[in-house]
Amino acid sequence: MDGRVAEEVRHFLTDFLERRRRDCADMDAEFTETVVDRLTRFTLDGGKRLRPLFAWWGWRAAGGADQGPAAGAMLRAAAALELIQTCALVHDDVMDGSALRRGNPAVHVLFGAVHRDGGWFGDPERYGTALAMLTGDLSLAWADDMLEEAGLSPAARTRARGPWRAMRTEMMAGQFLDIHGQARRDDSEITALRADRLKTAAYSVERPLQFGAVIAGAGEGVVAALRGYGEDIGIAFQLRDDLLGVFGAPEATGKPVGDDLREGKRTLLLAIGMRRARERGDAAALAELSAAVGDPGLTGADIETTRALLDRLGARQEVEERIRRLAEQGQQRLKQAPISEAAVRALRRLAVRATERDR
């Protein structure tokens, strides 16, 4: 079932983007071939499609049909979530200065290379950044268009607007906390969890579930149960990302090992490591962690040393335990949820996929 949903989401995205390409070709060929084609390739090539899947199972949990015109409209609306994701990833790579995404050069890097290879006037990096920001902005605008054109009934479209609006704003608030925390070198666990809740849990799991459920006309009990499950699984999803950012294999994650450390990400993993160093009175470990985080010159050996330190302090094990507890808590919420057994099984499967992964 999940494979079928992912295929249909890709089909609807392809159809929408092809129509938009035809519209843009009448405006300007270079804009179309440069920005629109890059946006299309990025959106269609890769990605786990988790957000549309959570939206679909929110719909099914609330009694939405598996087939027919209403189901098709729901899948088109769910596919629009992938355009928000394109915006988020393209902009995130610019803000973090990340060179790679999904094992390939990031969008701003690709645009910069086009400028450099062409021997054009000006700074290639600035050009690449500017075009990447345009690409992300365009994708966010088109997400709204795709939702509007999905074919939802007027009542369903009205119900969808609440979680849709909240999702976009929460994503940006979470990104702010991420950037702000790096700038202030904030190692508070509370701040890290707040950023995780807004940037990932709400945007990736909780709101997509709510989005699908309210489109189906779910009552408050169903929505509350799904949102509770979504918050738990969404935070666990981000904590897994935090671990992969430091301990993951580059061939699986598609990003250089230790990138989160070089970029100065103030993750819960780091906050726990610092708290544990303080609790032990280990000033040397605290100084070593503080010096490593945000140092763009970290070598492979430096990364290995920091990883070993986080392991020695027990930070990695504590994050793994939190992931396990959150996943169990989220699954427990499903037992009390007034939803079908098929939806419970699907959401359990998605919880495992979101929290027990290597990329």
Q: How many CA atoms lie within 13 A of 78 on its CB side?
A: 34
Q: What total of structural domains would you count in the chain?
A: 1
Give the closest residue to 205 by CA, choosing from 8, 353, 94: 353
Average pLDDT over residues 97-113: 94
SS3 content of the chain, % helix, strand, coil (to 5): 80, 0, 20
Rounded CA separation 316/312 (Å):
9
Q: Convert the pLDDT of each residue in 58-96 to its tens digit.
A: 999 999 999 999 999 999 999 999 999 999 999 999 999
- Cβ atoms 261, 307 nearer than 8 A: no
Q: Tell me, what CATH number does 177's domain have? A: 1.10.600.10
pLDDT of 46 over the 80 cut: no
Give me the domain span that covers residue 179. 2-355
pLDDT of 211 over the 80 cut: yes
Query: Residue 105, SS3?
Result: strand
Q: Convert the pLDDT of each residue in 144-164 to its tens digit.
A: 999 999 999 999 999 999 999
Q: Convert the pLDDT of each residue in 298-343 to its tens digit.
A: 999 999 999 999 999 999 999 999 999 999 999 999 988 999 999 9
